[in-house]
């Protein structure tokens, strides 16, 4: 079902538009609910600078690599930063400190893949919690700035909202008929709306490539990787977004395609550290335009 809705959202075919049309009344109700919540809720000031990096759509738009790039740039300017995420896909429910004062305090199962990736790639504290306000109150005691993951819809929190937009989307309807969490015009509430390819660009590099690789990934809309793939891909093995891997199933797929290694993203790699498998790695970096950074610097340091 998840795979079908990803196709409906990101790569609809002729028949899919009939399904989309049937779902539109539910989409309208969903969108109205989000609009009413946004209008009625009064943002709470937590007494600390908060930047939210979010999007209007389900699925990947580069939020995590954007956060990593921004945190590394801001921390190099002497700011102590805390990153807060819901911790999608993790096998825990409570507020969890993933990293504090440079030390990782939990497993990837407890943190989720994206939070652990940030913890490993950035000089910042990391907290995961479904209750963002609780996490903010904990984090603000020891930092200068909080970066909130995927919090554009959290209208009850006073923050500087950065909204990321993908290059293009064929389906611009609200859930469940499309990938949008709110009506597209809701972007007017953002402080910055950044377009991929204009305001930020993806840069991909690879490590340890082989001539026979099985592409293994658990990200939303995995077809978006196709434009970056190197030669040597002999098969593809997709799991649902944030899913954890099973070593035996990976080995079976590698044997099926006679693969020498698995090609994974950095987000996938943090869940494979203990598998002792031959990994080729796709490393995604984001280059943020200087004019965008200057505006963010003014907000944070002004």
Q: How confident is the model at residue 146 (pLDDT cuts 50, 70, 90)?
A: very high
Judge contact between 200 and 166, C-beta under 8 A: no
103 vs 120: CA distance, rounded Å: 10
As a whole number, mean pLDDT of residues 51-75 equals 91
Judge contact between 127 and 138, C-beta under 8 A: yes
Nearest to 154 by CA among 122, 195, 106, 186: 186
**Given this model, what pLDDT does residue 47 score?**
95
226 vs 11: CA distance, rounded Å: 13
21 vs 24: CA distance, rounded Å: 5
Hey, which residues does 201 pair with through a beta bridge? 287
Phi/psi of residue 104, nearest 5 degrees: -80, 130
Q: What is the pairing mode between strands 125-128 and 145-149?
A: unpaired
Token pair recorded at residue 205: 């590099």
Token pair recorded at residue 147: 């970066």
**Given this model, what pLDDT does residue 2 score?**
59
**Given this model, what pLDDT does residue 43 score?**
95
Domains of the chain in sequence order? 40-200+288-301 (3.40.50), 203-286 (3.40.50)
Whether 1 shows a pLDDT value over 70: the answer reads no
Specify the residue for token string 């652990």: 116
Alpha helices, DSSP H, located in 98-222: 108-111, 113-121, 132-139
As a whole number, mean pLDDT of residues 64-68 equals 95
3-state DSSP call for residue 153?
A: coil
**Given this model, what pLDDT does residue 171 score?**
84
275-300 as b/e: b if 16+ CB within 10 A = eebebbbbebebebeeebeeebeeeb
Q: What is the pTM of this model?
A: 0.91
Judge contact between 154 and 51, C-beta under 8 A: no
Torsion of CA 233, 239, 243, 247, to 10 degrees: -60
DSSP single-letter state for residue 228: G
Q: Using one digit for the tens of pLDDT, what is the confidence trace for 11-53? A: 788 888 999 999 999 999 999 999 999 999 999 999 999 999 9
**Given this model, what pLDDT does residue 271 score?**
95
For the chain, what is the radius of gyration of the CA atoms?
A: 20
Token pair recorded at residue 172: 């611009």
């Amino acid at each position: 079902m998840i795979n079908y809705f990803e196709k409906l959202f990101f790569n609809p075919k002729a028949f899919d538009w009939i399904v989309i049309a049937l779902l539109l009344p539910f989409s309208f109700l969903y969108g109205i609910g989000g609009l009413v919540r946004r209008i009625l809720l009064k943002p709470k000031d937590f007494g600390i600078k908060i930047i939210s990096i979010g999007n209007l759509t389900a699925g990947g738009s580069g939020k995590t690599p954007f956060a990593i790039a921004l945190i590394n740039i801001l921390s190099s300017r002497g700011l102590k930063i805390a990153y807060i995420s819901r911790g999608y896909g993790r096998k825990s429910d409570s507020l969890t400190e993933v990293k504090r004062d440079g030390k990782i305090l939990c497993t990837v199962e407890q943190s989720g893949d994206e939070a652990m990736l940030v913890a490993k790639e950035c000089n910042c504290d990391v907290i995961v919690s479904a209750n963002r306000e609780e996490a903010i109150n904990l984090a603000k005691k020891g930092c200068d700035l909080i970066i909130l993951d995927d919090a554009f819809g959290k209208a009850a929190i006073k923050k500087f909202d950065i909204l990321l937009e993908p290059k293009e989307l064929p389906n611009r309807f609200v859930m469940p008929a499309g990938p949008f969490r709110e009506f597209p015009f809701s972007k007017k509430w953002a402080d910055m709306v950044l377009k991929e390819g204009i305001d930020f660009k993806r840069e991909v590099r690879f490590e340890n490539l082989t001539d026979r690789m099985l592409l293994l990934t658990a990200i939303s809309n995995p077809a978006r990787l196709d434009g970056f793939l190197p030669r040597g891909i002999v098969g593809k093995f997709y799991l649902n977004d944030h899913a954890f891997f099973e070593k035996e199933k990976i080995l079976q797929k590698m044997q099926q395609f006679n693969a020498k290694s698995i090609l994974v993203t950095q987000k996938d790699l943090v869940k494979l550290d203990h598998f002792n498998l031959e990994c080729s790695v796709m490393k995604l970096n984001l280059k943020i335009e200087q004019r965008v950074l200057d505006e963010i610097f003014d907000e944070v340091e002004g």
